[in-house]
Chain A
Amino acid sequence: MNNKEKLEQDIVSLINAIDISPTMYKNAEEKYKAIGRCLLDNGHEVNIYPQGSFALGTVVRPYKNSEEKEYDLDIICEIIEAKDSCSPKNVRETVKDTLNANAYYTDKIEDYDKCITIEYAKVGEADFNIDIIPSISEDAKKKAELLRLGNSLDQINTAIVIAVKNEEDYSWSNTINPKAYKSWFDMINTPFSEYEKRTRMQKLFESNKNIYNSIEDIPTYFNKSSLQMAIQFFKRARDVYFSKNNQYENRPISAIISTITANVAKNMPNNSSVIEIIQKVIEELKIYGEYRVMSESDFISNYYDKILISKKNGKWIMMNPTNPLDNLVDSWNENPNKATYFFEWVSTLNIASIVNCVINDEEYYAAIGNILGNKIVKRHFNVIYNTKMINEGTKPWKS
C-alpha cells in the first residue's frame, strides 16, 4: 500500500475515533428531546434542533492544552412567539427558569453569554455537555432586509436571533440561520454522501447491531462523506495548532472551515477521497494567503477566479453563504493577527510530504500526530516511540 492509501485509511480511522459514537449520539438525542419535552410540559412551545457540527455531521472531540476534553453539542431552543412581543430577558429566563425548576437539571445548569449549558459530563453522566441556545424567530423587518440582500423565502423563514446575557444585561444577537446553513451544506454534501452509501451503512450496521434494529435505524449523522471527514480533519488540526501556539481564543471558527471546505469540494468529483479534498483545500488556502503579500489589485489580476475570501480596501471578507449579514472573517478585521495565525496554520499542514516522501513508520505516525495530536495517534494506532519526553527546556539568549 502506498502512503496515500494508507494515510487515507489512517485519517478516516482516527477521525472515527474522535467523532461521537452511535451510543453517544443516541444519548444526546434523547437528552435534548427531553429538554424540549420539559419546556413543552411547562406550557412553552419550542422548536428544538441541533446546530453546528452536531447538525452537519462534523463533531470532533475538543482538544485544549494538549488534552482531550468532553464534547459540547449545540442545540437551538427556539421559543415560538413573535420577537416583538418578547424581550431577550424573557426568552432567556423562560428557558433557564423552566429547567431550573426541574430537580434533574438544577445541579447541571451553567449560564454563559450565548447559551445555557447542561453539564452532563461534569456530573459524570455522559461524555458531553449540551449547550442550549435560547432564541426566537427574526422579526418581519429584518426578514424583509434579508430578502432584499439576497436570501430566499425559505431561508428568511428560518432566520433567528439568540437571547444573549452579559452579566446583568440582556440583548439580541445578530441574525443567525443555522437551518439555512445546514440546507446549503446538505445540498453540496449529498453527492458525496450518496457515493458508496450502501456499503458504508452496511458496514456500520454490522458493527452496531446492539444499537440498531435495521440499517434504516441508523441516523444520517453516521453516513459520513469524505467532505464531512475533511472538515473534521481541519477542525481537529486547528484545535491542535492553536493549542500549541497559545492562541486558542484566536482560532478560526468552525463555520470558516466548513464553508471553505464545502465550497472547494463542490467543484470536485463525488468519489474524491478525504485526502484529495484536504489537499485541494490546502492548495486553495495557500493562494488566498497571497493576499498578505500582494496588493488587492495584483491578487485579483493573478487569481481572478479566487473569490471565496476577498480583501477590499484592507478589509477581509468571506460572506456566510446563507446569511448576507454575516461576514465570517470579520474578526480578522478587528484583530489582524487572526489572519496571520490562520495562514501560518495552513502552511504547517504538510500532508503532501507525508504522501510523497519516503519515511519510516515512526516518522509517518509522528507527522500525523504533529497535526492531529500525538497522544491520540499513539493510543489509536498502538504505536510506541522511543522519544525522550521534555517537560521543560532552557531559554536561548542574545548577547
Chain B
Amino acid sequence: MEKLNIKELNDSFPFLTYCHELSKIIGKVELNHEYNDEIFKESFEIEIILDPTNYPIKIYEISNTIEKDYEHRYIDGSLCLASSIEQQLFLDNHSLSEWIDKYVISYFISYLYKKKYGIYPFGDRRHGQYGNLEFLKEYFKADDEIRAFNILHYIKIGKYRGHNDCPCGSKIKIRNCHKDIIINCLNKKSRFDKIYDCLIEEYKKYGNI
C-alpha cells in the first residue's frame, strides 16, 4: 500500500482525521453523489484501522446507520467492501484516498440503494472465494472461473512461452490470446503468487473451489 498522503486525505475528505498514535482514520464520510437519477446525501461515521500487514483494510461504520443484519460484513462487524483480491490489486498502485473514493463511497451508495429499492445497484459478489474467483474471471477476461484459475495457476508456475496454448482453454496460442494480461501479471508475480496461495489455503479449509 502506498504511504498515507495526509494532504490528499484532507482535501478529498475534509471530515476525516488521521490519528497517528492509534494508527486510525476517524470521522465522517459525506455522500453527495448521484446514480441512476437518485441523489444520495447521507453521511456515515467511520473508523479505518491502518495496519500495513492487514488485508483487507479494516473499516467500521460507527454511526450504526447500517442495519445489524446487513449481509456484507465480516464476523467482527467490519465492512466487506469488495473482494479481497480486488482491493489488494487496487491498493498496490492507488492511495488510501482513492480507495475510500472508489470502495467506501460505493459501499454506502449500494447499501442505501438496496435498502430503498431492494436490489444492489452494481451487483454484489458471491460468498467467500467464489467472490474472489468471480473477480478474477472479470480481471483476466476469462470465460468462466475455472479458466480464470487456470490462468492464475499459469502465472504461479511462471514460465511464459508465447507459442503454448493459452491457459484460458481457448486452444489459441498465448501470444494471440491472453498475452498482455499474463505478461502484466508476471510483472507483479509476487502479488499473484500470494493470491494463488490464499485461494489454495481456502480450498484446503473449505474444499469448495
User: B106 touching A393 by the CB < 8 A rule?
Assistant: yes
- In the bound complex, residues from chain B placing their C-beta under 8 Å from that of A66 are 36-37
| A241 interface neighbour in B41, B81, B117, B125, Cβ under 8 Å | B117
A389 within 8 A of B: yes
Chain A residues within an 8 Å CB radius of B86: 394
The digit string for A385-399, where 1 denotes a CB below 8 A from any CB of B, is 111111111111111
Is the CB–CB distance between B72 and A244 below 8 Å? no
In contact, B34 and A389 (Cβ under 8 angstroms): yes
On chain B, the residues within 8 Å of A386 by CB distance are 32
- Count of chain A residues near B, Cβ 8 A: 32
A374 with B82, Cβ < 8 A, contacts A241-B117, A394-B102, A399-B74 known:
no
User: 1/0 per position for B84-104, CB-CB distance to A under 8 A?
Assistant: 101000000000000000110
Of the residues B41, B105, B119, contact of A363 by C-beta under 8 Å? B41
Chain B minimum-CB-distance residue to A389: B34
A22 within 8 A of B: no
Which residues of chain B (45-93) have a CB below 8 Å from chain A?
A: 71-74, 79-84, 86
Q: Which B residues from 1 to 54 make CB contacts under 8 A with A?
A: 32-39, 41
Q: Which of A366, A387, A388, A394 contacts B82 (CB 8 A)?
A: A394
Rounded to whole Å, the gap between the CB of B138 and the closest CB of chain A is 10
Residues B95-139 near A (CB distance < 8 A): 102-103, 105-107, 109-111, 116-125, 127-128, 131
Of the four ranges (under 10, 10 to 19, 20 to 34, 35 or more), the interface on chain B belongs to 35 or more
Report B39 CB to chain A, min CB distance, Å. Answer: 4
With both chains docked as a complex, state the minimum distance between the C-beta of B104 and any C-beta of chain A, in angstroms: 9
State in angstroms the CA–CA spacing of A392 and B124 once bound together.
12
Q: A245-B117, A387-B33 are contacts. A398–B106 as well, Cβ < 8 Å? A: no
A321 sits at the interface (CB 8 A)? no
Q: Which A residues lie within 8 Å of B110 (CB)?
A: 393-396
Least Cβ distance of A65 to chain B in Å? Answer: 9
Q: Which of A344, A385, A394, A399 contacts B107 (CB 8 A)?
A: A394
The reply to whether the CB of A252 lies closer than 8 angstroms to some CB of chain B is no
How far is the CB of B97 from the nearest CB of chain A, in Å? 14
A398 contacts B72, CB within 8 Å? yes
Contacting A397 at CB < 8 Å: which of B33, B39, B131? Answer: B131
A396-B128 in contact given A240-B37, A348-B116, A366-B39 (Cβ < 8 Å): no
* Complex CA–CA separation, A391 to B36 (angstroms): 8
Q: Mark A356-386, 1 if CB is under 8 A from B, else 0.
A: 0000001100100110011100000000011
Question: Does A246 sit within 8 A of B, measured CB to CB?
Answer: yes
Which A residues lie within 8 Å of B111 (CB)?
A: 396
Query: CA separation between A336 and B53, bound complex, in Å?
Result: 49
A390 and B41 within 8 A (CB): no
For residue A246, which residues in chain B have a CB less than 8 angstroms away from its CB?
119
Asked if B117 and A397 sit within 8 Å, CB to CB, the answer is: no
Of B37, B106, B127, B128, which contacts A374 at CB under 8 A? B37
Checking B34, B84, B120 against A387 with a beta-carbon cut-off of 8 angstroms, the contacting residue is B34
Cα–Cα, bound, A97→B38 (Å): 45
CA distance A375 to B39 in the complex (A): 10
Q: Which residues of B contact A397 (CB under 8 A)?
A: 72, 80-84, 124-125, 131
Question: Do B34 and A388 have beta carbons less than 8 Å apart?
Answer: yes
Q: Which residues of A contact B32 (CB under 8 A)?
A: 385-388
| Bound: A244/B102 CA distance, A | 22
Q: Within 8 Å CB of A240, what residues of B?
A: 37
Selected A-B contacts with CB under 8 Å, 26 pairs: A244-B117, A246-B119, A344-B118, A370-B38, A374-B37, A387-B34, A388-B33, A390-B34, A390-B106, A390-B109, A391-B35, A392-B122, A393-B122, A394-B86, A394-B102, A395-B83, A395-B110, A395-B122, A396-B80, A396-B110, A397-B125, A398-B71, A398-B72, A398-B124, A398-B131, A399-B80
- Assuming A244-B37, A397-B84, what are 6 further A-B pairs, CB within 8 angstroms? A245-B119, A246-B119, A370-B39, A393-B122, A395-B83, A396-B125
Sorted nearest first, the 10 A-B pairs with minimum C-beta distance are A393-B106, A396-B72, A393-B122, A245-B117, A366-B39, A66-B37, A397-B125, A390-B35, A394-B106, A387-B34
Q: List residues of chain A with CB under 8 Å of any chain B CB.
A: 66, 240-241, 244-246, 341, 344, 348, 362-363, 366, 369-370, 373-375, 385-399
